[in-house]
């Protein structure tokens, strides 16, 4: 990962992407593990307002847990910790914790345009997505302009090993339907510890 470009891009446009963030072997192990885990339908909102709304998103999830997770999952969490340290050092973001989940979108799955920060809770500061497979077509992460969220700024194709991160409260984005299953780890660097 290019630290300078990461910092520059986050400041300049609110998001950053790079390839080969995940080592290919680690990426394969994480994908294998995802395929064997009991994933559950994703929800919208937080706490008592949590609901399954398949018209908005229809991915399924498995939350990472550093205590019960595998060696590969621990390595991933360490990578997120390293990223958190870089962002704290360079941007003084005061990040303290990572929360994240494996995600599976079935063929034609989607997540409509949204921001990641909850209205009632501003602990999610930086969103971080790593892709675990490479759909032949579709499945893009559509990023909207920070200055004008009506304008599409970039469609980033999911690709094994690729990383995308963005400011959770500023960047509108959506997941476009893919022609096959789409696998990733999505997570958030946060300020507070629950
Ligand atoms: C999310 C999300 C983007 C992606 O999980 O909130 O926007 O590319 N994911 O998977
Ligand atoms: Mn999102």
| pLDDT (tens digit per residue) in 124-159 | 999 999 999 999 999 999 999 999 999 999 999 999
Q: Alpha-carbon distance 57 to 96, whole Å?
A: 28
pLDDT band at 193 (very low <50, low <70, confident <90, very high): low
State whether the beta carbon of 130 lies less than 6 angstroms from ligand 1.
Answer: no
- Please give the distance, rounded to the nearest whole angstrom, from the Cα atom of residue 116 to the centre of ligand 2: 5
- Please give the distance, rounded to the nearest whole angstrom, from the Cα atom of residue 114 to the centre of ligand 2: 6
Q: Do residues 121 and 46 lie in contact, with contact meaning Cβ atoms separated by under 8 Å?
A: yes
The answer, yes or no, to whether residue 106 has pLDDT greater than 90, is: yes
Write the CB contacts of 184 (distance below 8 Å, at least 6 apart in sequence). Answer: 102, 103, 129, 130, 131, 132, 158
From 128, 129, 163, 187, mutation site for ligand 1 pocket: most ligand atoms within 8 A of C-beta: 129
Identify the burial level of 24 via C-beta atoms within 10 angstroms of its C-beta, where 0-12 means exposed, 13-18 middle and 19 or more buried: exposed
Q: Do residues 110 and 141 lie in contact, with contact meaning Cβ atoms separated by under 8 Å?
A: no
Q: Alpha-carbon distance 23 to 27, whole Å?
A: 6
The answer, yes or no, to whether residue 163 has pLDDT greater than 90, is: yes
The answer, yes or no, to whether residue 186 has pLDDT greater than 70, is: yes
State whether the beta carbon of 141 lies less than 6 angstroms from ligand 1.
Answer: yes
Backbone angles phi, psi at 154, to 5 degrees: -160, 145
Place of tokens 């303290």: 96
Q: Alpha-carbon distance 46 to 123, whole Å?
A: 12
State whether the beta carbon of 132 lies less than 6 angstroms from ligand 1.
Answer: no
The answer, yes or no, to whether residue 167 has pLDDT greater than 70, is: yes
The answer, yes or no, to whether residue 1 has pLDDT greater than 70, is: no
What's the distance, CA 85 to chain centroid? Answer: 18
The answer, yes or no, to whether residue 52 has pLDDT greater than 90, is: no
Average pLDDT over residues 185-192: 94
What is the average pLDDT value for the chain, to the nearest integer? 94
Ligand 1 atom at minimal distance to the Cα of residue 59? 5
| pLDDT (tens digit per residue) in 109-121 | 999 999 998 777 7
């Amino acid at each position: 990962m290019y630290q300078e470009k990461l910092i520059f891009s986050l400041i300049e446009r609110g998001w950053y992407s790079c390839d080969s963030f995940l080592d290919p072997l680690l990426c394969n192990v994480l994908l294998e593990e995802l395929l064997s885990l009991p994933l559950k339908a994703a929800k919208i909102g937080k706490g008592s307002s949590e609901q399954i709304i398949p018209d908005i998103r229809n991915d399924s999830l498995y939350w990472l847990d550093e205590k019960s997770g595998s060696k590969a999952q621990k390595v991933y969490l360490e990578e997120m910790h390293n990223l958190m340290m870089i962002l704290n050092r360079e941007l003084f973001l005061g990040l303290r914790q990572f929360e994240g989940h494996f995600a599976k979108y079935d063929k034609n799955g989607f997540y409509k345009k949204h921001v990641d920060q909850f209205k009632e809770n501003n602990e999610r500061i930086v969103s971080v997505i790593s892709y675990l497979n490479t759909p032949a077509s579709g499945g893009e992460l559509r990023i909207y302009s920070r200055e004008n969220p009506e304008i599409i700024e970039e469609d980033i194709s999911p690709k094994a090993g690729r990383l995308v991160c963005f400011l959770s409260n500023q960047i509108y984005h959506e997941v476009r339907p893919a022609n096959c299953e789409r696998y990733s780890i999505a997570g958030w660097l946060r300020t507070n510890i629950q």
